[in-house]
A = this chain, B = another copy of it.
Amino acid sequence: MSAPDPIPAEKSGSAKTPPRSRIQRRNRQIILDAALEVFSTHGFRGATLDQIAAQAGLSKPNLLYYFDSKDAIHRELLTRLLDTWLDPLRMLDAGGTPQAEIMAYMRRKLQMSRDFPRESRLFANEILQGAPRVEQFIRNDLRVLVDDKARVLRAWADAGRIAQTDPYHLIFSIWALTQHYADFAAQIGMIRGDGHDPLDGAEAFLEHLYTRLLAP
């Protein structure tokens, strides 16, 4: 399992930021970016190291100089993604104004679909396959966070500050509606015409939708 490692990791177990050379940092980033492109459209099995190498402008052995394996590249991408995946929901503040907080959460998620559609598709691919690589993340981190925020939403509803709705389905609806614009962008683009920005009008629509849904 442990091949001689050309990139010596620091003594400290899983060093968060092993001191890498300029070239190391640059090329690892190039590879991750290329891999994100390829993995997000073809899935893990559908992607080949040759594709990633071509996309990165590097040779295949060179990829494997910077990462131990195809799997290691994919794991690194997922790890980086999950690190920030929870942030928008985490920012939902129990002390804020209910409508404004929920609306802001929706807007943050929509912004992620706009700014990071490949990351969204990478995640979608993972869930479609049954979430084998992110199961623990979902069962632990995500679930705890959702349970926590669901309590906040329920409290708001019980206090009559927003309409009575199932807080879980409310959260799922925000995920579904916002991620759809990233994950199904190809379909939307083909229906609306290729010159059209798939996200055009989405924010106004979703604001309208949640305004009406949440009004007490």
**A170: B residues at CB distance < 8 A:** 205
Q: Check A20 for interface membership: any CB of B closer than 8 A.
A: no
Q: How far apart are A204's CB and chain B's nearest CB, in angstroms? A: 8
Q: Given the complex, which residues of B lie within 8 Å of A42, measured CB to CB?
A: 45, 129
Compute how far the CA of A21 lies from the CA of B209 in the bound complex, rounded to whole angstroms: 53
Which residues, 163 to 191 on A, are CB-close (under 8 Å) to B?
163, 165-166, 168-170, 172-173, 175-177, 179-181, 183-184, 186-188, 190-191
Report which of B131, B176, B177, B212 forms a contact with A215, defined as CB distance below 8 A: B212
Q: In the complex, what distance in Å separates the CA atom of A29 from the CA atom of B125?
A: 27
Q: Which of B139, B201, B209 contacts A190 (CB 8 A)?
A: B139
How many Å lie between the Cα of A208 and that of B208 in the bound state? 15
A121 at the interface (CB under 8 A from B): yes
CA of A179 to CA of B138, assembled, Å? 20
Knowing A46-B45, A173-B177, A202-B169 are in contact, say whether A124-B128 is a contact too (CB < 8 A).
yes
Interface on chain A toward B: helix, strand, loop, or mixed SS? helix
Min distance, Cβ A154 to any Cβ of chain B, angstroms: 13
A213 CB-CB contact with B under 8 Å: yes
Chain B residues with CB under 8 Å of A155's CB are none
**With A124-B124, A163-B212: A180-B176 Cβ-Cβ less than 8 Å:** yes
B contact residues around A213 at 8 Å (CB)? 208-209, 212-213
- A112 contacts chain B at the CB level, 8 A cutoff: no
Interchain CA distance A167-B206 in the complex, whole Å: 13
| Nearest 9 CB-CB pairings of A with B | A45-B46, A176-B180, A169-B205, A138-B190, A176-B176, A212-B212, A131-B186, A43-B43, A143-B191
* A and B contact pairs by CB, cutoff 8 A, 28 listed: A40-B128, A43-B125, A43-B128, A43-B129, A44-B46, A46-B129, A127-B183, A127-B184, A127-B186, A128-B128, A135-B190, A138-B187, A138-B190, A142-B187, A142-B190, A143-B190, A146-B191, A165-B208, A166-B204, A166-B205, A168-B192, A169-B201, A169-B206, A172-B180, A176-B176, A176-B177, A180-B180, A212-B212
